[in-house]
Amino acid sequence: MSPERLARINAMLDMRQPDLTICLEDVHKPHNLSAMIRTADAIGVPEVHAVFLGEDNRLRGGTATGSQQWVKVNRHQSIGDAVARMREQGMQVIATNLSEKAVDFRSIDYTKPTAILMGQEKTGISQEALALADHDVIVPMVGMVQSLNVSVASALLLYEAQRQRQAAGMYGQRRLDEAECQRLLFEGGHPIFARICRQKGLPYPRIDEEGQIQAPEAWWQKVQMSPSAWQHLDD
């Protein structure tokens, strides 16, 4: 890994916000999924949550034009499972929903651990999901239409969260756990070896402060061998 690549990845890791996320409830158009994941990466969101009803093939291939390398997508069987996972992390749950109790999205305190629910393009957030939310929010609009594209709405909320968090000094400090940082350093800095490890079922080695792989000789031998050949090393 070059020093420039290492510096860029480390700078990104220092900006990650592990207690900020979005949850996509059956968002089904690939261009919206792509835009939302790319925005999450731009804001510093390290992982998002997704609930897909039906065939789960919308995030395969190059859907997010590289953003999926940096943003982990957690898939859930139901919105209840997804919200339960976020509750375990102590997150407040925000839903975009035009209701009597809805407040301006800018009035929410996003410096708290926060999950933002975004619903399906046509039907919006389900009633089940709305019942699980702590707050309903709206994006004020003065035109003839009453809703924004889902990817646009999520971008507005995420950038408001970024604005508040920057003002609170929450960026520029390493908040991701070390294991996740090591994974991203290896996959982002040594993609060829990362692919070999996945193909051969090898553990990822540690990356040192200079961005170099720290691994025993046996690991290097297994990288160069076929899986059947390295079995003799363990006998």
Residue where a domain stops, chosen among 146, 167, 188: 167
Judge whether 21 lies within some domain.
yes
Determine if residue 48 is labeled as part of a ligand binding site.
Answer: no
Closest-CA residue to 188 (of 2, 40, 57):
2
The answer as to whether 156 is a domain residue is yes
Which of 110, 139, 167 marks a domain boundary?
Answer: 167
Q: Is 4 part of any domain? A: no
The pLDDT score that the predictor gives to residue 67 is 62
Average pLDDT of adjacent 10-residue blocks, the chain of 235 residues: 92 95 88 91 94 62 58 91 93 88 94 92 83 90 82 94 96 92 93 91 93 92 71 48
Residue 35 shares a structural domain with residue 135: yes
Q: How far apart are CA 51 and CA 72, in angstroms?
A: 14
Q: Extract the tokens encoding 156.
A: 């507005």
Long-range contacts of 5-12 (CB under 8 A, 24+ apart): 5/188, 5/189, 5/211, 6/185, 6/189, 6/210, 6/211, 9/184, 9/185, 9/188, 9/189, 10/185, 12/44, 12/70
Q: Please name the residue that has the structure tokens 């992390």.
A: 89
Please tell me the predicted confidence (pLDDT) of residue 64.
Answer: 46
- pLDDT given at position 142: 83
Does one domain contain both 147 and 194?
no
Q: How far apart are CA 142 and CA 144, in angstroms?
A: 7
Dist. CA 39–CA 145, nearest whole Å? 24
pLDDT of residue 143: 85
Mapping DSSP to helix (H, G, I), strand (E, B) and coil, where does residue 157 land? helix
* Whether the Cβ atoms of residue 153 and residue 117 lie closer than 8 Å to each other: no
* Per-residue model confidence (pLDDT) at position 231: 52
- Give the pLDDT confidence of 175-223 residue by residue, as tens digits: 999 999 999 999 999 999 999 999 888 999 999 999 999 999 989 988 8
Structure confidence at residue 159 (pLDDT): 97
Tally of domains within the chain: 2
Determine whether the annotation assigns residue 65 to a binding site.
no
pLDDT in tens, 45-58: 999 999 877 655 55
In a domain, 173, yes or no: no
Is 103 found in the same domain as 216? Answer: no
pTM above 0.75, yes or no: yes
In a domain, 9, yes or no: no
Residue 210 belongs to domain spanning: 178-234
Q: Is 148 annotated as ligand-binding?
A: yes
For residue 129, being part of any structural domain is answered with yes
Amino acid at 230: W
